[in-house]
Amino acid sequence: MRKFNRVLVISFFIFFGCDTSEKLTRSDLNDHWEFTQDGKDTWRKATVPGVVHTDLMANNMIPHPWIGTNELKVLWVENENWIYRKSFTLQKAELDRDAIDLVFEGLDTYADVTLNGKLILSADNMFRRWRTNVKDLLKAGENELQVKFSSPLKVNLPRLDTLGYELPAPNETVERKVSPFTRKAPYHFGWDWGLRLVTSGIWRPVYLESYDVARIENVQLAQKSLSDRVAKLEAVISIDAASASVIDLLVMDIKVQAKVTKGINEVIVPLEIVNPKRWWSNGWGEQNMYEIPVTLTQEGIHLDEEVAKIGLRTVELIQEADSIGESFYFIINGQPLFARGANYIPQSHFLPSVKDEDYEKLIKDASDIGMNMLRVWGGGIYENDRFYELCDEHGILVWQDFMFACSMYPGDSAFIENVEREVIDNVKRLRNHPSIVLWNGNNEVDVAWNNWGWQKQFKFSAQDSTKIWNDYVYLFRDRIPTLLGQLDDRPYTTTSPLSNWGRPENYNYASMHYWGVWHGPDDFDGYRKNVGRFMSEYGFQSFPSMETIAYFADSSEWRLDSDVMKHHQKSYIGNGMIAEQSRKYFGEATSFEDFVLKSQQTQAKAMQIAIDAHRLKRGHCWGTLFWQLNDCWPGPSWSAVDVFGRKKVLYEELTSLYAPVALIPHWEADQLVISLVNDSLDKIEGTMELTLLDTSGEETNLSLPVSSDKNSLVEVHRITRSKNFQNGVVKLILDEKISVIRTF
């Protein structure tokens, strides 16, 4: 039984009066929508949550953009405005509440919402939640709700004209780029692994919330201190009151009363958890979670309730100057962590189509192969609650980017205020999740501005360059961290990476995106030579399985120079790079099917070299997050799992590459070195079994005991290479069972 103790008596006010309060109720408004193109009067069935492209497909108005070159046939959709509407009926008794709010969990993106003919809100941010009181506009009987979505291009092209210069956004293939102005998933405008699909729609649920007196707006469980004896918390409860009143709160077994005024009120309730059980990352222990029920009442009448959850753990990000540069690593519950994982992107352009079971499979599989961290990349979305719940349950740490990637952004007051509200919304929604260990400002904006030649490419004047950079500094080094200081206590970094791969000395400093292989001149040996302090991006492309290729391309298109195959390759060097490296490592392909297999084997080879190199420099390097875990459409990309969940060769290899305890064979000149890496918190005692095969077919077998301390790297064997040596197998035996097998 978990014991909660009150540590502070909260003063309260007492007021009694006539009350007819009822519990908060939620009325789903997701059904029976219809839509039309603005300027037309033909209404068709729509699905909510959804986006216009899936509605158009369901009504046979456009082909599926993933197939063939159909992307080109649906580009017109982004230039149009779209209108959604529905009717719903209310009884007179339903209107007899103190407050009735209309809530949109997500509107993509520019949307004017009218209720019974009156404009009630204008949305301009896909990442925000929209709530407005509509009690006075509702009526008994039929009510009409309408949402008009304006094309992001139509909204923002005039802003581009007014600005006077173009803001860099290399992900957009069109000439005039509006994504920097649009608080919408950047990858919707195109990327080098995905199509351009600028969606619109009610992409998250919509509902009416009716309540009397007050409702719970948010519950923050702020961990103030943690020891093995006691955890001290503050339950910071935001209450939205319909009018001034006195309400009763029950937080676990602690009862308090508070006088509230109309609007948002904050009540702080101190808590203690005696002998707390900690939340641990994957492989280090149990993912213990505590449920903290919060109940809102008045005179014994139930008004609202929420069950908040917390996992108790400590997080530190160590960025300290040392003898060679600056460190970058996480300490979880007092233990330095070597991060093993990947970068995560949205699982589809059609975001409402991603189901709970898709999240569940992806996160469970990541946990099962030994991952302990995912980076939610800044060109996608702040993910659904279920994603973070699953990371909590499986011990997957989350590096959370804010949604900015590879672009410069405007600095006008309206844009900054919009971003501030976005940050507040999402941090409040996500901050109770123990899995989140880092907020990161953006993806590659700093290194892009300083290394990609944008000033020359876009012919910025000195004055324009200064303005653009100052806007960047203000947003990411001032406003966002200032807000985080008020909302949460997790570490924050302004950008990823903090160090660019172009100079040798930079591998001694902080986080690194290493693209010397692929975007640079390096071959795979570059992964061994160029290891940063924390490798938060690197990768190599491959093709998806033939089954996936058959989905989007007819067999007549199964060649690299076909229109469909070229269209699905979004990297400017993709097919050539894959062909060159696969030929080098696995020989000339005998067929297209053989090329596809070799592409996956080549990707796996590249990532094996990289991951081994990172783990073998443990102490210098403290993390390896390859690009990328998953896909958003079918095509060649850097992913380990394609959009249909089909696993590539790389994914199958990750079980051994990311094993928390593993033997890593590697060459140092003419010597074969076997190292034992132990990322666990246990001392390891086991057996190494080594088999060497020479060109004559003769085997040499060796068995010897191996051991290591927790969180360590140790060399366990070294052999001078024989001239006839061909290949080998090394096995790690733990508890009389084969733990990891590596071939070389």
pLDDT tens-place string over residues 74-118? 999 999 999 999 999 999 999 999 999 999 999 999 999 999 999
- Check 71, 78, 172, 444 and give the catalytic one: 444
The confidence score (pLDDT) of residue 736 equals 86
Q: What are phi and psi of 316, to 5 degrees?
A: -130, 140
Min mean pLDDT across 130-139, 479-488, 689-698 is at 689-698
Tokens read off for 397? 């740490």
Selection from 680, 690, 686 nearest residue 706 by Cα: 686
Selection from 429, 464, 439, 437 nearest residue 449 by Cα: 464
Cβ-based neighbour number of residue 413 at 10 Å: 7
Q: Which three-class secondary structure state does DSSP give residue 599?
A: helix
Confidence of residue 289 (pLDDT cuts 50, 70, 90): very high
Does the pLDDT at position 11 exceed 50?
no
Q: Which three-class secondary structure state does DSSP give residue 616?
A: helix
Q: What's the predicted TM-score (pTM) here?
A: 0.95
Cβ-based neighbour number of residue 183 at 10 Å: 23
Selection from 214, 179, 201 nearest residue 106 by Cα: 201
CB-CB contact of 615 with 624 (8 Å):
yes
Q: Which three-class secondary structure state does DSSP give residue 301?
A: strand
How does pLDDT run across 220-265, given as a tens digit for each residue? Answer: 999 999 999 999 999 999 999 999 999 999 999 999 999 999 999 9
| Single-letter amino acid code for the residue at 458 | F
Cβ-based neighbour number of residue 456 at 10 Å: 8
CB-CB contact of 213 with 300 (8 Å):
no
The confidence score (pLDDT) of residue 21 equals 58
d(CA 557, CA 542): 17
Contacts of 503 (CB under 8 A, 6+ apart): none
Q: Which three-class secondary structure state does DSSP give residue 473?
A: helix
d(CA 708, CA 177): 54
How does pLDDT run across 387-403, given as a tens digit for each residue? Answer: 999 999 999 999 999 99
Selection from 528, 515, 717 nearest residue 611 by Cα: 528
Residue with tokens 């082909």: 63
The full DSSP string for 374-390 is EEE-TTS-PPPHHHHHH
How does pLDDT run across 594-650, given as a tens digit for each residue? Answer: 999 999 999 999 999 999 999 999 999 999 999 999 999 999 999 999 999 999 999
d(CA 720, CA 501): 33
> Would you call 668 a catalytic residue per the annotation?
no
CB-CB contact of 330 with 437 (8 Å):
yes
The confidence score (pLDDT) of residue 698 equals 83
Region 25-37 average pLDDT: 98
Does the pLDDT at position 18 exceed 50?
no
Does the pLDDT at position 518 exceed 90?
yes
The radius of gyration of the chain's CA atoms, rounded to the nearest angstrom, is 28
